[in-house]
Amino acid sequence: MTRTVTVQMEPQAAPIDIDRTAVIIIDMQRDFLQPGGFGESLGNDVSKLQRAVEPCQKVLAVARELGMLVIHTREGHLPDLTDLHPFKLQRPGSSHAGLIGTEGPMGRIMVRGEVGHDIVPELYPKPGEPVIDKPGKGSFSSTALECILRAKDISTLLVCGVTTEICVNSTIREANDRGFFCICIGDCCASYFDEFHEMTLKMMKAQGGILAYVTDSKSICDSLKSLSS
């Protein structure tokens, strides 16, 4: 029997088959959310990303209870930085040049295996949940994500994470081009820039949901919970 629920979204409500739907939590890492990491080194107020944590916890709890596929991603690089392209490291003329790989209070910035690279404790993956390590902004580029989604017959993605306009946006664009129906859960995403967050959500859902439909954690949780009652 299929488990289908209708979700309130913009530009319009739509049904989703939860057995073909995955929750993907993008880059909820200390490096972006906590002081002393990559985000703060770039001059950002990292406290602005905290607002996404609790809504993500709520969505995760319901998704796990229903046995949905939950996938986490982490942006970062190999310790020898061989997967770090020169432009990402140097950004010619930028005051932010050369940050990645340097020592910080949470270890080497954006390097796999370091404390700062890992996911914040509140949203830590459960055993069995795939964790995708990616060197870029999009979650499909140079990763096995598409392979995993196809193997599990996933057609719909509920997308959460940070930052809305960078890695969430890149991932949704990649997914959209690969034929996945993307639903961005707005309050489960956050940015260091309020206006970028708002405009990214607006842009995704414009033109009849050209990139993604947009909803919020309450709408998703209410719809999903109707299955367990």
Query: Among residues 34, 41, 156, 163, which is the contact residue for ligand TIU, using CB under 6 A?
Result: 163
* Interaction between residue 162 and ligand TIU (CB under 6 A): yes
Q: Using an 8 Å Cβ cutoff, are 59 and 220 in contact?
A: yes
Instruction: Tally Cβ neighbours within 10 Å of residue 207.
Output: 9
Residue with tokens 């997967």: 83
The rounded distance, in Å, linking the Cα atoms of 172 and 158 is 10
- Is 27 one of the annotated active-site residues of the chain? yes
Instruction: Tally Cβ neighbours within 10 Å of residue 59.
Output: 24
For ligand TIU, the closer of residues 203 and 221 by Cβ is: 203
Name the minimum Å distance from CB 65 to ligand TIU: 27
Query: Among residues 158, 159, 166, 175, which is the contact residue for ligand TIU, using CB under 6 A?
Result: 166
Whole-angstrom CA distances from 180 to 16, 75, 200 are 12, 21, 18
Residue with tokens 């033109």: 207
Q: Which of residues 181-210 bind ligand TIU (CB under 6 A)?
A: 192
Total residues binding ligand TIU (CB under 6 A): 10
* Interaction between residue 167 and ligand TIU (CB under 6 A): yes
- At 182, give phi and psi (nearest 5°): -105, 130
- Using DSSP's 3-state secondary structure scheme, residue 102 falls into coil
For ligand TIU, the closer of residues 73 and 215 by Cβ is: 73
For ligand TIU, the closer of residues 25 and 68 by Cβ is: 25
Q: Which residues are catalytic?
A: 27, 134, 167
Q: Contact residues for ligand TIU (CB under 6 A)?
A: 27, 32, 42, 75, 137, 162-163, 166-167, 192
